[in-house]
Amino acid sequence: VEESFFMQAVHDILKWGSVNASFDHLSFPGVVPRSFVGPLLISALAYPAKLVNGGRAEGIWIQLAARLALGWLVAWANSNLRRAVSAVFGSTAARWYAVFCICQFHYTFWTSRLLGNTLALVPMLFAQALWLRSMSPSSGTEQRRCYRQMAGILAFTCAVLRFDVAVFAVAMLLASISNVTRRTIVMSLGILSLSVLLTLVVDSYYWRQCWMWPELQVFRFNAVDGRSSEWGVSPPHYYFTHFLPKLLLGALPLACIGALADTRAARLAIPYVAAIAVFSANPHKEWRFILPAVPVLNVCAAVGVVRLRGIVPSSRLVTLAGATLAAGSLAIAVLATLSSSLNYPGGQALAMLHAMESAPGARVHIDSFAAMTGVSRFGQVREDWVYDKTEGLHPGQFGNYTHLITSQPELHSTGGFSIIGVQRGYAGLAITPPKLVVQSLLSGQLPIAVRQEPLVWLLRKNKWQQDT
């Protein structure tokens, strides 16, 4: 749901630039507002793609360009962190860090997703690189410079992109508080003030509200009012027992080894573990809230491999063990990527509708499930059609629409609509019973397969063809 705001915002900025009544967020503002600063940056990076084909490029190709722009930013920031790992822990650790990052599904698949968490990950990665360098055995002046720059980046990130990274920011600042100076405090407060001013100017304009500071409203909603629990609750241990193993995969045991065997890795891990413990106090939990912890713990995992190579007599055995864990993670990532590619039946159904219908004047209603599974304004390519996402309509209120994209076709069985298409999507994994695994392999079939089932239906008004 949150990705929808950023995706539509980038589309609207690229299409119109200045805010107008057609902007999606003015009709569908969401539960809490989000800042336009991130979408403005992505739009600027994706704009050259709009100039392709004489400035007539549009649709999904521009959406792809926007996602590539964000993915490139994350890759750039991550490469900077890898260089910091090389400077502090050596080139071997840097290579293992890169391997673990590549082999983790969530960390790779979501780095181009237009979420506030992903946008905030970019400056967080730069801040983590500076944090790492501030711990290196360099001069005190260099350590304080890195700490000062890190504090400024964290101030901007918390004020503009994601307020909840303040938990990690405080942990990082306290862990290296010996580097704090009066100059650091003054500069950080200055950057914080300018960041607040930036979001006030940009978001007051785009939201058409005076004194709009989106992250302050998010803070009130989640931290003060405690309303995030309306979207589900999990037990306190869930981040440690469910999300971290899911995010780190094979790197998790090596991260523990690295934190135990190397004091510098422990100085990285302990503040982040403490920050995750703070997040655990919030009943509502999502893995993306602790996404900034993944690169730091991957650094610890890389250090764990290097340390084991110095402890275990056979370094080849350690390399083999690390490669096995990475290969297992990669296999899980490949399967998860295949499964996730089937999670967008709404967007695929919209593309199917465009392929099936060519007449002008269609009025298409998109239900909530379809809107959350791939439908975006980038895919709404017919200028002579009307696309509507109005929620809460009763079955008798769909008479003005010519087409429906819905996950509940049974609601319209007596409304004068007929099914003209069905889009299947991900419905879980089919796992072969253990006693039949060998037989399955001998027959050339994998013991695990992705199940699909009908999820989204295309409906057309019975009289529409006659009317047109």
User: What is the tens place of the pLDDT at every residue in 10-58?
Assistant: 999 999 999 999 999 999 898 899 999 999 999 999 999 888 866 666 7
Determine the pLDDT at residue 443: 76
With contact defined as beta carbons under 8 Å apart, do 215 and 160 qualify?
yes
CA atoms within 13 A on the CB side of 298: 29
Q: Supply the pLDDT for residue 465.
A: 64
Cβ(336)–Cβ(103) below 8 Å: no
Alpha carbon separation from 447 to 249, 403, 434 (Å, rounded):
21, 40, 9
- Burial of 198 (C-beta count, 10 Å sphere; 0-12/13-18/19+): middle
pLDDT at residue 468 in the model:
54
Question: What pLDDT is attached to residue 366?
Answer: 96
| Whether 5 contacts 25, CB under 8 Å | yes
pTM: 0.93
**pLDDT attached to residue 246:** 96
Q: Provide the pLDDT for residue 230.
A: 87
How many angstroms separate the CA atoms of 408 and 419, rounded? Answer: 11
pLDDT at 57: 60
Beta strands in 109-239 (DSSP E): none
Rounded to the nearest integer, the mean pLDDT of the chain is: 92
pLDDT tens digits for 313-363? Answer: 888 999 999 999 999 999 999 999 999 999 999 999 999 999 999 999 999
Query: For the chain, which ranges sit under pLDDT 50?
Result: none
